[in-house]
Amino acid sequence: MRNLKEAIRGYSKHILAFTVIIVLFAFSRLPVLSATEREAIASRFQFTRFPLPEVAGEPYHQLRQVNPSLERHSGWISAVGAAVALNDLDGDGLDNDVCYVEPRNDQVIVAPVPGTGDRYKPFTLSPINLAYDAVTMAPMGCLPGDMNEDGAMDLLVYYWGRTPVAFLNSEVGRGGFLAKIEDSTQINEINPPLHIAKIEDSTQINGINSPLHKGEKISTLLSLNSNSYEAQDIVFTGDKWYTNAATFSDLDGDGHNDLIIGNYFRDNSEIIDPDSTKIEEMQDSMTRAYNGGTNRVLLWQENPENIAYKDVKGIFDQQTLHGWTLGVGTADLDGDLLPEIYFANDFGPDRLLHNRSVPGKIQFAVLQGKKGFTTPNSKVLGHDSFKGMSVDFGDINHDGLLDIYVSNIADEYALEESHFLFTSTGEYDKMKKGIAPYKDQSEPLGVSRSGWGWETKFADFDNDGELEALQATGFRKGEVYRWPELHELALSNDQLLKVSNSWFKFQDGDDLSGHQHNPFFVRAGDGRYYDLAPELGLDEPYVTRGIATADVDGDGDLDFVFANQWDDSYFYRNDSHDTGAFLDLKLLRYSNASISEAIGASVTVGLPDGRKLVAQVDGGNGHSGVRSSRLHFGLGKVSVDAALPVEVQWRDIEGQPQHTSLLLSPGSHTVRLGETTKIASSKS
């Protein structure tokens, strides 16, 4: 017995160490769902895939021509460009039109979404009347928005190699005045074709789908084509920008939507000019790079003839100004109807900016999170050293406060940083002191890991009141595994990193995270998100950049599009069964004869069980995917006859804060926000 005790004492340290290892291993294991649970949750969803329409043009390529000094890693330079947006471009009342960038031949394509009818032929947008060189310039994104406030949906296209271009909807009759109505009686449920006898010439009006009043603008169904849009420069500097993200938002609270532009490579570089003699620089750090392009705020300016924006200077600190930005998002986080800005930056810390502006004067303050005893530096908002790609906002815990979902690189056995899900603590008074009231919960909530992440999007696809989380992943698909070379480069001296000749060979045929699938995260009963893409048939490996969501067919559930890099892009129609009730809101801001989408308006929906659903009208948040500007709420098992309390806050066309309380039943509603709020509705 004595010998046994002595033996135990002799091995006590080893036993303790082994016990600690076992305990740590148990804690390190990720929760898993049983096959039965996964199957049960997956049964709530069903999607049918359709390729996006194509337009004949230049032959497809898989690699960009680049500056000779960057040729060695041309595959890296060629990593971005695929983009997509969903919206109502032809005025039929449905978000069944797509604008997407085809990087294989640098086309910007406008088309009806597959399965929504041949309302017009697909066509391309090209700034043929502006300075444009297809060899040294390339489109990177398409952003819908009413830039001249005439009630028509315009398109902003941004590029590498030049400043963005506004394609203004110039279709005759679009947004025209109906001045011959003899009284102000509201006209509802007009279905084309229709003759209105009170109009003196009895003109036929087709495609009218919203309430009309005396003297106000109308929206008529368009047969779109390339001549429907007039290209205009939005700034006239002649500079070469390398834009990878843009969003509309009323930053100064004057009632007009401004533009935030996120640029990547340094301005006036010659990145994709194959005849350039310039030696171009890459980022000067993998974790603290501030030699990127200039991020910009373009302030809306009144101009009766053309659109006009003022490039505002001196509002960002140098680190915010020159981060390598891939994603931009805005949302009013503290309830003052002034949107905060989130810059998702590659190669270094993201930036969350607190809005302290007044009309005509832009002012922001940098916010940073507070580090706790057990919090790694890179998990603190504003201190991360990761590779920010995109950002989205949504309330994932039903506390009535928006949370922030950020995509980074989290590739197992490669570069496993972490994606972020910053949940709000609600301590918004701290924002006045420069503190970001957010805590990263991505690991306990299950969304910290996936792959080389790009776009992030929240959406409720089964209308159960819980947000799903989509993510675009993958870098370049090939056969030669190049992660060892990238690791070697990342460990090198920063002074060498910016020198392009020090980079490893990365060209056509090389692979970095090229065989991943896009996660489809669904929340389970334990409160954690799980990737159910394999069970839903969504696990085909793509290299995806943009995700756009909308109720394309008007059936009450959200559909989506994946914009893929160097591959076909696809529309996924939602064919799920037994989905819950929904509330779909199109918010329009009216004043006199002016009409525009109420970007930034905030909506809170009260449910019978006491939960609250919140969302804000999105002006284009993310990397290169733009969701519909309609707000979609899944309501769960709410009766279709229920009267739900809905609170709406917005700024009117004069910039004054406004609030209205509504009672709305489930279904689709167009809400006129003005002196008197008016509603046009359809049941679910």
Q: Give Cα separations from 591 to 149, 465, 595 (angstroms).
A: 11, 33, 7
Give residue-wise pLDDT tens across range 47-64.
Answer: 999 999 999 999 999 999
Count of C-beta atoms within a 10 Å radius of residue 105: 15
Average pLDDT of the chain to the nearest whole number:
89
pLDDT at 538: 98
pLDDT at 675: 61
pLDDT at 423: 98
Question: Of the spans 12-21, 335-344, 490-499, which averages the highest pLDDT?
Answer: 335-344
Q: What percent of the chain has pLDDT over 70?
A: 87
Check if the beta carbon of residue 450 is closer than 8 Å to that of residue 518.
no
Rounded mean pLDDT of 394-399?
Answer: 95
213-227, 374-388, 455-469: range with lowest mean pLDDT:
213-227
Angle (CA) 407-411-414 rounded to 5° is: 135
Identify the band that residue 680 occupies on the pLDDT scale cut at 50, 70 and 90.
confident
Identify the band that residue 303 occupies on the pLDDT scale cut at 50, 70 and 90.
confident
Identify the band that residue 305 occupies on the pLDDT scale cut at 50, 70 and 90.
confident
pLDDT at 369: 97
Written as six digits, the tokens of 398 are: 């039903």
Check if the beta carbon of residue 309 is closer than 8 Å to that of residue 300.
yes
Is the predicted pLDDT of residue 196 greater than 90, yes or no? no
List, as one string, the DSSP characters of 582-635: EEEEEEEEEETTEEEE-TT-EEEEE-TTS-EEEEE--SS-BSSEE--SSEEEEE
24-28, 259-263, 331-335, 420-424: range with lowest mean pLDDT:
24-28
Is the predicted pLDDT of residue 203 greater than 60, yes or no? no
Q: Which residue has the tokens 């004069």?
A: 654
Which residues does 144 contact at the CB level (< 8 Å), separation at least 6? 85, 87, 89, 99, 153, 154, 155, 156, 620, 626, 629
Rounded mean pLDDT of 242-255?
Answer: 97
Q: What gap in Å lies between CA 176 and CA 193, rounded to an integer?
A: 17
Which residues does 443 contact at the CB level (< 8 Å), separation at least 6? 418
Is the predicted pLDDT of residue 215 greater than 80, yes or no? no
pLDDT at 372: 87
Q: How far apart are the first and last CA of the chain?
A: 78
pLDDT at 595: 80
Is the predicted pLDDT of residue 24 greater than 70, yes or no? no
pLDDT at 362: 96
SS (H, E, C) 111-172: EECCCCCCCCCCEECCCCCCCCCCCCCEEEEEEEECCCCCCCCEEEEEEECCCCEEEEECCC
pLDDT at 263: 98
Of residues 7 and 436, more confidently modeled: 436
Q: What percent of the chain has pLDDT over 90?
A: 80
Check if the beta carbon of residue 507 is closer than 8 Å to that of residue 74.
yes
Check if the beta carbon of residue 434 is closer than 8 Å to that of residue 452.
no
pLDDT at 217: 40
Rounded mean pLDDT of 196-222?
Answer: 40
Identify the band that residue 173 occupies on the pLDDT scale cut at 50, 70 and 90.
very low
Give residue-wise pLDDT tens across range 595-616.
Answer: 889 999 999 999 999 999 999 9
Identify the band that residue 211 occupies on the pLDDT scale cut at 50, 70 and 90.
very low
Rounded mean pLDDT of 561-572?
Answer: 98
Check if the beta carbon of residue 634 is closer than 8 Å to that of residue 649.
no
Q: For the chain, how big is the Rg over CA atoms in Å?
A: 26
Residue 640: DSSP 8-state: T
pLDDT at 218: 46
Give residue-wise pLDDT tens across range 404-458.
Answer: 999 999 999 999 999 999 999 999 999 999 999 999 999 999 999 999 999 999 9
Q: What gap in Å lies between CA 275 and CA 112, rounded to an integer?
A: 38
Q: What gap in Å lies between CA 286 and CA 411, rounded to an integer?
A: 16
Written as six digits, the tokens of 258 are: 């401004």
Is the predicted pLDDT of residue 622 greater than 90, yes or no? yes
Which domains, from first to last, does the chain contain?
65-174+226-574 (2.130.10.10), 581-681 (2.60.40)
Give which of 397, 421, 396 is closest to 408, Cα–Cα.
Answer: 421
Give residue-wise pLDDT tens across range 472-481.
Answer: 999 999 999 9
